[in-house]
Amino acid sequence: MLGYNRAKGLVNLNQKNLHSLTHYYGIFCLLSALLPTLGVFFIFTICDDLVFAELVKEYIPNEVINSKDYNFTIVLAQINNSVEGLVFGTPPQWVTNAAEIWKSWVIKSNILTMIVCAITILTSGFLSYKKIHSEFRSRNAVEKIVMTILGVSSVIAILTTIAIIFSVVFESIRFFALIPYDEFLFGTVWNPQFEGAERAGSGQEGLSQYGAIPLFAGTFLISIIALCVSVPIGLLSAIYLSEYASSKERAFFKPLLEVLAGIPTVVYGFFAALTVAPFLRSSGSMLGLDIASESALAAGLVMGIMIIPFISSLSDDVINAVPQSLRDAGYGLGSTKNETVMKIVLPAALPGVVASIILAVSRAVGETMIVVMAAGLAANLTANPLDAVTTVTSQIVTILVGDQEFESAKTLSAFALALTLIIITLGMNFYALHVVKKYREQYE
Interface contacts to another protein, rule CB under 8 A = 323, 325-336, 339, 343-344, 347-348, 442-444
Cβ proximity to another protein: between 117 and 350 the closer is 350
| DSSP characters over 380-444 | -----TTS----HHHHHHHHHSS---TTSHHHHHHHHHHHHHHHHHHHHHHHHHHHHHHHHHHH-
Cβ proximity to another protein: between 190 and 439 the closer is 439
| Rg for the chain, CA atoms, rounded | 31
The minimum distance between CB 241 and another protein, in angstroms, equals: 17
Cβ proximity to another protein: between 150 and 329 the closer is 329
Q: Output DSSP code: residue 60.
A: S
The Cα–Cα gap between 352 and 318 comes to 6
The Cα–Cα gap between 286 and 280 comes to 10
What residues are paired with 209 via a beta bridge?
191
The minimum distance between CB 289 and another protein, in angstroms, equals: 45
Cβ proximity to another protein: between 126 and 331 the closer is 331
- Cβ proximity of 303 and 286 under 8 Å: no
Alpha helices (H) along 90-212: 93-131, 138-178, 181-186, 196-202
Cβ proximity to another protein: between 77 and 342 the closer is 342
The helix/strand/coil state of 209 is: strand
Cβ proximity to another protein: between 156 and 342 the closer is 342
φ, ψ (nearest 5 deg) of residue 190: -115, 110
Q: What is the helix (H) or strand (E) element at residue 210, kind and residue range? A: strand 209-210
Cβ proximity to another protein: between 144 and 438 the closer is 438
The minimum distance between CB 355 and another protein, in angstroms, equals: 16
* Residue 128 Cα to chain centre, angstroms: 39
